[in-house]
Amino acid sequence: MCTKEQIQRAMDEHGNMVLRLAYMYMRNQHDAEDVFQDVFIKLYEHMDRIQSEEHMKAWLIRVTVNVCKNKLKWFAYRNMDVYEEWAHFSTDYDDHFEVMSAVTSLPTKYREVVHLFYYEGYQTKEIAELLKKRESTVRSLLARAREMLKNKLKGEYDFA
């Protein structure tokens, strides 16, 4: 049986990661917070299956991705103004507003690999396992995402 302290510790250690990942999918703070809540309820229900700290982090990422995808399927997802949301969403990303805005504007399949690679520090092999994709697919998605970001941000950072 899972204790309140175990869930609180998991939220303290992995809560920011879950919230950031949910935000990358949902693109607004309120829906990301709903996902956060759903993920930790699921953790409470399945805590006995968690084998280690590393397993918990991977499990939380996988469940967050699945909850986000399910929510996006089941309700008419509204296209929120990213700039308005970033003004209310205080995270480590505040110093990189333009970059994060460009990342959140990417299609989901690119957004998720960029987030896991750059913000969570996973290697392509680990991302492939988490997302149930081939490693070569993950590398291709990252390459395409980088190219898209380069084109989006070119005007911002092209001083030549």
Stretch 43-68: mean pLDDT: 92
pLDDT reported for residue 83: 43
Structural contact between residues 99 and 91, judged by C-beta atoms closer than 8 angstroms: no
Tokens of 135: 């490693």
pLDDT reported for residue 9: 92
Of residues 24, 50, 46, the one with CA closest to residue 35: 24
pLDDT-above-90 percentage for the chain: 45
* 42 falls within a domain: yes
Q: Are residues 74 and 127 in the same domain?
A: no
Higher pLDDT, 115 or 1: 115
Q: Which domain holds residue 74?
A: 1-81
Higher pLDDT, 26 or 140: 140
pLDDT reported for residue 82: 44
120: pLDDT strictly greater than 50: yes
Q: Are residues 69 and 100 in the same domain?
A: no
> In CATH, what number is assigned to the domain containing residue 140?
1.10.10.10
Encode pLDDT of 145-155 as tens digits.
999 988 888 86
CB atoms within 10 A of CB 145: 22
pLDDT reported for residue 78: 45
Place of tokens 């969403």: 89
Q: Dihedral, CA atoms, 120, 121, 124, 125, nearest 10 degrees? A: -90
Q: Are residues 54 and 111 in the same domain?
A: no
**pLDDT class of 21 with cuts at 50, 70, 90:** very high
Stretch 111-121: mean pLDDT: 88
> In CATH, what number is assigned to the domain containing residue 1?
1.10.1740.10
For the chain, how are helix, strand and coil distributed in percent, rounded to 5?
A: 80, 0, 20
